[in-house]
């Protein structure tokens, strides 16, 4: 008779957003284009509601470079959101610190990511659980700050339905988005190795398990 208790599965892990993902299919590109248009329209409407007036150009329209940065940030973050949802070994949630210095040298800047998640949240395509600050009441000069927790992001059913309309389903997500860890490059001594061109500052220098480090938003 076997008296051993069954092993209890641990909690599913969240996915760290290092922004090292890319689109792979025309369907994914079309989805990103749609989201970029929706995000820029949402930005204009939000800014108009705050200012109450419009200008011919002014601060309400992104320039060419700003639009390209927004689109790239959306594509990379969308990859994380959908790949995490499709992975049965993941929680379907994505985490990322909103501490500005954690974006230094990465593929997506802090202002771009802030614009991305705020637009997706405003469009009800994303839900965010804000990070928390922690303090210890006893310190030499009063309370001292402890590592906080990162913000958690998750795609809503509305985003999943929109992706499905473009033919981007979770069942075949690998046809549309893939991790982008670098490119192969032939060195002078004839050996293939990974090139550092796709700057992996966030992934290489930030331990995903230490996601609580720093002040979070």
On whether residue 85 sits in a domain, the answer given is yes
β-pairing, 21-23 with 177-179? antiparallel
In a domain, 5, yes or no: no
Over residues 68-88, the pLDDT tens digits come to 999 999 999 999 999 999 999
Asked if the structure places residue 6 within a domain, the reply is: no
Instruction: Evaluate whether residue 8 is within a structural domain.
Output: no
What per-residue confidence (pLDDT) applies to 150?
86
pLDDT digits (tens, 9 = 90+) for 97-126: 998 999 999 999 999 999 999 999 999 999
Question: 197: pLDDT confidence band, cut at 50, 70 and 90?
Answer: very low
Residue 215 lies in a domain: no
Confidence check: pLDDT of 7 > 50? no
pLDDT at site 187: 38
Contact 33, 109 (CB under 8 A): no
Placement of tokens 């913000």 in the chain: 151
43 located within any domain = yes
- Cα–Cα distance measured from residue 17 to residue 78, given in angstroms and rounded to the nearest whole number: 10
Domain count along the chain: 1
Per residue in 138-195, pLDDT tens?
655 655 554 567 899 999 999 999 999 999 999 999 999 998 865 443 333 333 344 4
Is the full-model pTM beyond 0.85? no
- Say whether pLDDT at 40 is over 90: yes
Task: State the Cα–Cα distance between residues 152 and 138, nearest whole angstrom.
Answer: 29
In whole angstroms, give the CA distance from residue 70 to residue 39. 9
Domain-embedded: residue 184: yes
Structure tokens at 19: 């922004």
Residue 97 in tokens: 């610190």
């Amino acid at each position: 008779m076997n008296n051993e208790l069954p092993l209890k599965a641990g909690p599913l892990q969240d996915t760290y957003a290092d922004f090292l993902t890319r689109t792979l299919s025309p369907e994914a590109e079309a989805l990103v284009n749609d989201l970029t248009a929706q995000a820029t329209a949402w930005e204009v409407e939000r800014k108009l509601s705050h200012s109450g007036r419009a200008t011919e150009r002014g601060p309400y329209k992104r320039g060419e470079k700003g639009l390209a940065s927004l689109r790239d940030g959306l594509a990379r973050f969308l990859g994380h959101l959908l790949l995490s949802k499709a992975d049965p070994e993941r929680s379907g949630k994505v985490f990322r610190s909103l501490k500005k210095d954690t974006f230094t040298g990465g593929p997506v800047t802090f202002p771009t990511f802030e614009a991305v998640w705020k637009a997706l949240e405003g469009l009800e395509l994303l839900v965010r659980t804000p990070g928390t600050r922690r303090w210890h009441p006893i310190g030499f000069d009063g309370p001292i700050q402890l590592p906080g927790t990162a913000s958690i992001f998750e795609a809503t059913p509305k985003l999943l339905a929109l992706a499905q309309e473009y033919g981007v389903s979770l069942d075949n997500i690998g046809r549309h988005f893939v991790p982008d860890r670098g490119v192969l490059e032939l060195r002078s001594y004839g050996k293939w190795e990974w090139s550092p061109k796709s700057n992996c500052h966030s992934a290489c220098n930030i331990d995903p398990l230490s996601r609580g480090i720093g002040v979070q938003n």
